[in-house]
């Protein structure tokens, strides 16, 4: 004769079906190390000395032929590039430029150069208030001759989208080179283009960025 308690014990098959959903849930939450490893990101490259970032400003206005185009260079900047030539769409770029390290290289004469440098610092870049200029990529689109980078450029505290076509090449083992040109408008960043000679000569709203970035592969 069976004991009364035996009737309260469910069959093993019922117990198995009862706990199956729980077992599946636990399996889905298995720690990362016990499951297949996630795909590693692309190698990281650090921007190094020898990189160059120039900005070309042009004159406009009634007496623009008396004015001069100016070449401005960022002398101090750093950044990283995540890049795998086999998977360019997974790339990313982050550059930080020191505003205080931006210098005017070409002008009419040495005295004019000093004046333009001062005006650029006081009226345009204001490095004490905005110490850095920053670019950060958002999406990368492979192209036949390189990649199209869509990202955000932050200048004097204002961030605007930019699109840059970039040519990338591994110049030598462990060293990467990225070159390109793109344009931006000063007015998009709330900057009124500087003028001179009672407004008859002024800087165009459009400025051209030209870069030649060198990077070395990070260890690891």
**Number of structural domains in the chain:** 2
Contacts for 55 with CB less than 8 Å, ≥ 6 apart: 71, 72, 73, 74, 102, 207, 208, 209, 210
Mean pLDDT of 171-199: 83
Average pLDDT, the chain: 80
The pLDDT value given to residue 60: 52
Closest residue by Cα to residue 180 from 44, 94, 45, 54 = 54
Tens digits of residue pLDDT in 35-92:
446 678 899 999 999 899 999 987 653 333 334 577 899 989 999 999 999 999 999 9
Containing H/E element for 41?
none
* Same-domain check for residues 133 and 88: yes
* Residue range of the domain that includes 9: 4-33
75-79, 100-104, 131-135: range with highest mean pLDDT? 131-135
d(CA 217, CA 220): 9
* Same-domain check for residues 100 and 183: yes
* Same-domain check for residues 86 and 14: no
The pLDDT value given to residue 195: 56
* Same-domain check for residues 19 and 108: no
Whole-prediction pTM value?
0.75
> Residue 32 is encoded by which pair of tokens?
């990362």
* Same-domain check for residues 162 and 112: yes
* Same-domain check for residues 164 and 191: yes
Please report how many Cα atoms fall inside a 13 Å half-sphere around the Cα of residue 130, on the Cβ side.
Answer: 20
């Amino acid at each position: 004769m069976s004991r009364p308690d035996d009737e309260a014990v469910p069959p093993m098959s019922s117990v198995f079906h009862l706990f199956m959903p729980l077992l599946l849930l636990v399996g889905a939450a298995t720690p990362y190390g016990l499951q297949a490893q996630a795909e590693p990101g692309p190698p990281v490259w650090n921007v190094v000395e020898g990189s160059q970032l120039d900005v070309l400003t042009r004159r406009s206005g009634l007496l623009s032929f008396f004015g001069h185009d100016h070449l401005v260079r960022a002398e101090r900047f750093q950044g990283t590039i995540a890049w795998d030539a086999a998977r360019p769409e997974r790339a990313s770029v982050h550059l930080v430029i020191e505003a205080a390290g931006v210098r005017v290289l070409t002008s009419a004469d040495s005295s004019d150069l000093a004046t333009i440098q001062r005006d650029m610092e006081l009226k345009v870049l204001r490095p004490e208030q905005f110490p850095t200029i920053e670019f950060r990529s958002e999406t990368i689109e492979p192209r036949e001759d390189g990649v199209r980078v869509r990202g955000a450029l932050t200048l004097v505290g204002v961030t605007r989208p930019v699109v840059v076509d970039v040519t990338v090449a591994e110049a030598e083992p462990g060293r990467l080179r990225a070159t390109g040109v793109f344009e931006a408008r000063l007015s998009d960043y709330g900057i009124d283009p500087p003028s001179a000679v009672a407004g008859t000569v002024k800087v165009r709203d459009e400025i051209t960025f030209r870069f030649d970035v060198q990077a070395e592969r990070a260890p690891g």
